[in-house]
Structure 1
C-alpha cells in the first residue's frame, strides 16, 4: 500500500496514470476520515503506520509491486503540463512564430509584456519570430502563465512520487524509496568488474573469467619458458632472439676487454 499527497499533484495527471498502470495498480481517491476508519479495520502488518500521514488529501495506490519499482515507474511517467503562477519552467520556453488565430485587442499587451514581438495580419495576431520568454529554471509569473495557456504551451514537467508505503510490515518514507537507476546500474557494473579482476588475479575460475585466466596462464608460461630458456614450439623464436642478443652484447663488451 502506498500513498501520494495531492499537494503538488493535479487531477489531470491521475487519469493517464490509471491508463498506463492499468492491471498493475489500483488507484483510490477517498476522504481522509473514511480512509482512517478503513485502515483501523485492516489486519495488514504495518498498515496503521501510514495513518499518521493522513494530514492532507492523499491518493492510495494498492499493488503487489515493490514500492521501489513503483516509484521508478511513476518517475518514468512524467507529463508536460500547463503553467500556473509560481511554477518553475522545466524547459526553455520557446514560443514559435505563427498565426495565433487570436483577434487583436488586449492580448497585444500580454504579448508585449512577455517580450514576444507580434504583427497584425489578416485580422489576427501573428508572432513575428521564435521567442524565448523564459529559460529553464525561471519562475513563471501570472501574466506569462496565462499567455502560455492561451497558446497551449505546456512548459512544466509534472511527475508523481510516493510519499510513503508499507510492504511486508515495513514502512518506507519518500526519501527511502528514491532509486537512482543509472547510479545503481553503474555501481553493480563496477562491483562485477572488480570481482572478475580479483577472481582472475587469484585464479578462481568461473564462466565469466575462464578465457581471461587461461590467457593469463598462457602468457605467464610463455614468459617463464623464455626467461629459463626452456624451448617450446611457441617460444623457440623468442629464446633464440634473446640468446642472439645476449651473444652480441658479450662480443661488443669483449672488444674493449684487455687482459690484466
Structure 2
C-alpha cells in the first residue's frame, strides 16, 4: 500500500489521522453504523468535552495506522464488529471510563424494512392507548392479535411477533413504533481500545465499576484479617498486631494481679467500683457523707413544722340605710302629729 499513489488531500487526511493515533491518551475504535445524522450530532456534542471522534474511510484509517507504526493486527482486532468504524481519543479518561461513557449513548430507534432484529420482540397482553378504528385491522394484518375491549384497542394475548435474527418487515416496524417499541439499538459503540500500550477488547472493558470497587474493598479487608490472624508481620499489620498484643498482655497482668505503672490505676479504679457497688446495697442511713455523695444520694433537709394561724375575725359590715326612705318616714310622722 505504501507504493500506491495517493491524492494530496488524502495524504493530508492520513497525516491528521496518524497524529490522532500517536497522540497521548487512550485510543479506540467505535462503530457509528446506523446512527442517524441528527442523533450523531447530539451525541458528539455531549461527548465533546471528554473525547474526540474522528470519522474516515477504512482505507485511510489503515494507511494512517501503518504510517503511525502500529501493528496491522491491532487494527484488525479493533475493526471486528464495526460496520462503520471511527477513531475515538481521550486524554482525560482510561479505557474503562471511555467504555462506560460511550455506553450511555445507546438508545433505541424504530426498525426499518429488512433490518435484523437483535432480540426477540414480545408484545404483552393488555389495553393500548388507541381508540376503535382501522388500527385494529392493521395490528392483525402484521400478526399482532388485537380487538376492541371497553372502548380501547387491546392486545388479546402475549406473543413473540419477531424472533431474534429475523428480518423485520416495513409494516411490522411501523406498528411496533406505534406501540413505542424501538428494537434497533444505536449509539457510539466502542469495539476496543489501546491504553498505555495494552489492547482491550470491548468485552474485557464491560465491567461494573462500582461492583468491582466493592469487591476490591472486600478482598482487601479479608486479606488483612487473614494476615492478622496468622500473625503475618508487615507495615500494614504491625500496628494492629501490636495493639492486640498490648491489650492481651494487659488482660493477663490484670488477672494475675501484677502491679506496675499501668495496672495500679486500673486496680484502684476496679476496687473503687466494687466498693461503691457494695455500698449501694446498704441502707442510706449507714453511709457517711463521702459515700452518699459518691453514690449520688442527696441529704434530705429537715422537715419544718408548719403552724396554722387563725384567720382574723372580720366584722360584718352594716348595710347603709337608705337616706331617701328615712326622710320619707320622718316626714310622714310629723304630718300625723
Shorter-chain TM-score tier: 0.5 to 0.7
Aligned partners of 2:35 and 2:186 also within 8 Å:
no
Classify 1:99/1:90 alpha carbon distance in 2 versus 1 (closer, same or farther; 3 Å).
closer
Deviation at 1:73, TM superposition (A): 1.9
Deviation at 1:2, TM superposition (A): 0.8
Segments of 5+ residues of structure 1 without an aligned counterpart are 241-260
**Structure with larger Rg:** 2
Instruction: Determine the C-alpha separation between the residues in 2 that align with 1:162 and 1:37.
Output: 21
Instruction: Determine the C-alpha separation between the residues in 2 that align with 1:228 and 1:212.
Output: 22
Q: Point out which structure has higher relative CO (alpha carbons under 8 A, 6+ apart).
A: 1
**1:26-47, Cα deviation, whole Å (9 max, x unpaired):** 11222111222233333xx637
- Note if 1:87 corresponds to 2:115: no
Within-5 A mapping of 1:21-36: 21-36=47-62
Aligned residues: 228
Deviation at 1:63, TM superposition (A): 1.9
Within-5 A mapping of 1:1-260: 1-5=27-31, 9-12=33-36, 14-42=40-68, 46=70, 48-53=72-77, 54=79, 57-64=84-91, 65-83=93-111, 85-89=116-120, 97-99=128-130, 103-104=134-135, 106-110=137-141, 113-118=143-148, 126-128=152-154, 132-134=158-160, 139=164, 142=168, 144-154=172-182, 160-197=188-225, 201=229, 202=231, 214=243, 216=244, 219-221=247-249, 223-230=251-258, 232-233=267-268, 236=271
Quick check: 9-18 or 101-110, which moved more?
Answer: 101-110
Segments of 5+ residues of structure 2 without an aligned counterpart are 1-26, 259-265, 276-337
Instruction: Determine the C-alpha separation between the residues in 2 that align with 1:198 and 1:139.
Output: 49
Aligned partners of 1:104 and 1:120 also within 8 Å:
no
Deviation at 1:197, TM superposition (A): 2.5
Deviation at 1:181, TM superposition (A): 1.8
Look up the SS of the partner of 1:61 in the other structure. Answer: strand
Instruction: Determine the C-alpha separation between the residues in 1 that align with 2:46 and 2:122.
Output: 24
Aligned partners of 1:95 and 1:133 also within 8 Å:
no
Aligned partners of 1:110 and 1:147 also within 8 Å:
no
**1:50-101, Cα deviation, whole Å (9 max, x unpaired):** 4435575312212223222211222344323335542315998677531269
Aligned twin of 2:335: none
Q: Which stretches of structure 1, 4 residues or longer, exceed 6 Å deviation after superposition?
A: 203-206, 208-213, 237-240
Instruction: Determine the C-alpha separation between the residues in 2 that align with 1:16 and 1:130.
Output: 39
Aligned partners of 1:90 and 1:157 also within 8 Å:
no
Superposition RMSD on alpha carbons, in Å?
A: 4.6
If the length of structure 2 is used for normalisation, what is the TM-score?
Answer: 0.50
